[in-house]
Amino acid sequence: MGESGTVKLAIAGCGGIARAHLTAYARINEKEPGKLRLVALNDVSKESAEAFADEAEKLLGYRPPVFQDTREMLRKAKPKAVDICTPHSEHHRVALECIRSGADIMVEKPFGVTLRASKTIIAAGKKHGRIVATAENIRRGVNQRTMHWLVNEAKLIGKPRMFYAIHASWNDPLKPRRWHWRIEKNLSGGGLVLDSGAHFCDSMRYFFGEVDRVYAFVGQFEKWPHDKNGETVYSEVEDSWVALISFENGLVGTWSWTMAAPGHSFTKVVYYGSEGCLLDSGDVFHGPFDNAVLILKDGTQRNMSELREEFLRSIGEEGRNRLFPHGFTDGITLECYDFLEAVQKRRRPEVDGEDGMRAKAIAEAIYESAKLRAAVRYRDVLNGRISKYQDPIDRANGLLKGKR
Ligand SMILES: NC(=O)c1ccc[n+]([C@@H]2O[C@H](COP(=O)([O-])OP(=O)(O)OC[C@H]3O[C@@H](n4cnc5c(N)ncnc54)[C@H](O)[C@@H]3O)[C@@H](O)[C@H]2O)c1
């Protein structure tokens, strides 16, 4: 921080999501001028960093210096907080450099490329006394806060029993796409189970508590060609999964997604408890959505906007200011604000590295179960006793030495 308490912030990785973070910081800056100063932008691609600096200038009124090399950025710009928005395999590399230089960090989801990567970041944060946050925006939405309240406080569905979050659709595999790091397993760590799935894994923990066991199938039914600088390469990550997930509170969920299901597409997301259910609409990653509805045993129905209002009334003004400071309701603005507050006040961010890792461990338990063709205990995956799926990714990323 500067003398005034201004957070000297840098963004590492100036791609898609970093733009949403930049917009969020600009919104925060409008409400609390001087809360942050963007002192550096870091991207391995000079072109991306320069284009990003142009946007930053438009939004913030000044142009932050750009760096291609993280170490040089840390040495010259001396940020006290770094928001890491790089591909998954770079999260721990960039995070370690930042932490060692004395900066607090927020890392985009999924926290580390694997659990070893995640643990490496957490250990460094502890050693150097740095704040380590996970950028998890979805649980901060008003609907998700309402869902947390209706399950855990108002207990409107009663005791949670089962949920189904299932999506099937068809995505023409003959249409070649442009290469992206997300299709290479050693760069991404996996496919949508841990990518968009990171949000649902966090939401599951937030709504229902810790997972007990996982039994899953993960597969790829189609070859998905991509164009990598004129060469055809194929996706190495899943196009489908079915996961049975049991929780310590007795709840059992089925989470399944595929884009390899020709002929008929459908999405169904329902959370059942002893007294009724929450019928959601939309996808299997980011809900509940606005037209979700609570349906009780006796047929009574309440829509999401009524539930939201009741929840917001129940938490009072103090609660509303805490969860939605300045009236912000966009999850990314809220996660960025929480990070800045944690840095300034030296307090724990709501979703810290441990939370990021624990959400990530659900996704890894799905991959590990599929690899072993057996049910796995969540705890064994979290503790690293089961890591067959992750080992090659760790080897490729220098996190595990020696041959298999
Ligand atoms: N919260 C969300 O809703 C959400 C949405 C999209 C992506 N994400 C996450 O954000 C992260 C980035 O995803 P994206 O879609 O923005 O990817 P992207 O490919 O658009 O951007 C990544 C950027 O990082 C740069 N980069 C690569 N290695 C780097 C390094 N070592 N140092 C600095 N910069 C480096 C790349 O050049 C690129 O500009 C991922 O963790 C992803 O899962 C989150």
pLDDT in tens, 207-263: 999 999 999 999 999 999 999 999 999 999 999 999 999 999 999 999 999 999 999
Pocket test for ligand 1, best of 42, 47, 48, 85 (most atoms within 8 A of CB): 85
User: What's the whole-number mean pLDDT along residues 125-150?
Assistant: 98
Are the C-beta atoms of 285 and 167 separated by less than 8 Å?
Answer: no
What is d(CA 398, CA 68) in angstroms, rounded to the nearest whole number?
Answer: 22
Q: What is the pLDDT of residue 404?
A: 58
Smallest CA-to-CA distance from 281 within 303, 260, 254 is with 303
Our measurement of the distance from residue 341's CA atom to the centroid of its chain's CA atoms, rounded to an integer in Å, reads: 20
Taking CA atoms only, the protein residue closest to ligand 1 atom 40 is: 87
380 confidence band (pLDDT: 50, 70, 90): very high
C-beta of 130 in contact with ligand 1 (< 6 A): no
Percent of the chain with pLDDT over 70: 99
**With pLDDT > 90 as the criterion, what percentage of the chain qualifies?**
97
Q: What is the mean pLDDT of residues 51-68?
A: 98
pLDDT band at 4 (very low <50, low <70, confident <90, very high): low
Residues 71-99 have a mean pLDDT of: 98
Tell me: pLDDT of 124 over 50.
Answer: yes
pLDDT tops 90 at residue 45: yes
Question: Cβ(17) to ligand 1 under 6 A?
Answer: yes
Q: Looking at domain 141-316, does it have CATH number 3.40.50.300?
A: no
* pLDDT given for residue 175 in this prediction: 87
pLDDT at 378: 98
If you average pLDDT over every residue of the chain, what do you get?
Answer: 97
Decide: 277 and 270 in contact? Cβ < 8 Å: yes
Mean pLDDT of 30-36: 98
Domain locations in the chain as residue ranges: 7-138+324-352, 141-316
Q: Which atom of ligand 1 has the smallest separation from the CA of 90?
A: 31
Residue 1 has pLDDT above 60, yes or no: no
Element (H, E) at 317: helix 304-323
Q: Residue 292 pairs with which residues in a beta bridge?
A: none
**How many A from CA of 30 to the centre of ligand 1?**
25
Ligand 1 pocket residue status of 108, Cβ below 6 Å: yes
What is the 344 CA–ligand 1 centroid distance (Å)?
25
Distance 196 CA to ligand 1 centre (A): 13
Q: Could you tell me if the CB of 195 is within 6 A of ligand 1?
A: yes
- Which of 331-340, 349-358, 395-404 is predicted least confidently? 395-404
The yes-or-no verdict on residue 344 having pLDDT over 70 is: yes
pLDDT for 176: 86
Q: Return the H-helix or E-strand segment holding 218.
A: strand 211-219
Q: If you average pLDDT over residues 101-119, what whole number do you get?
A: 98
What CATH number does domain 7-138+324-352 carry, 3.40.50.720, 3.40.50.10860, 3.40.50.300, 2.60.120.10? 3.40.50.720
State residue 141's pLDDT score.
Answer: 98
Give the distance (Å) from ligand 1 centre to CA of residue 304: 32
Backbone phi, then psi, for 132, in 5-degree steps?
Answer: -125, 110
* Separation of CA 52 and ligand 1 centre (Å): 13
Question: What span, in angstroms and rounded, lies between the C-alpha atoms of 371 and 270?
Answer: 28
Residue 403 has pLDDT above 80, yes or no: no
Centre of ligand 1 to C-alpha 299, Å, is: 45
Could you read off the pLDDT of 166-210 as tens digits, one per residue?
999 999 999 889 999 999 999 999 999 999 999 999 999 999 999
Chain centroid, CA 6 distance in Å = 27
pLDDT band at 2 (very low <50, low <70, confident <90, very high): very low
Question: Would the pLDDT of 139 be above 70?
Answer: yes
| pLDDT at residue 307 is higher than 80 | yes
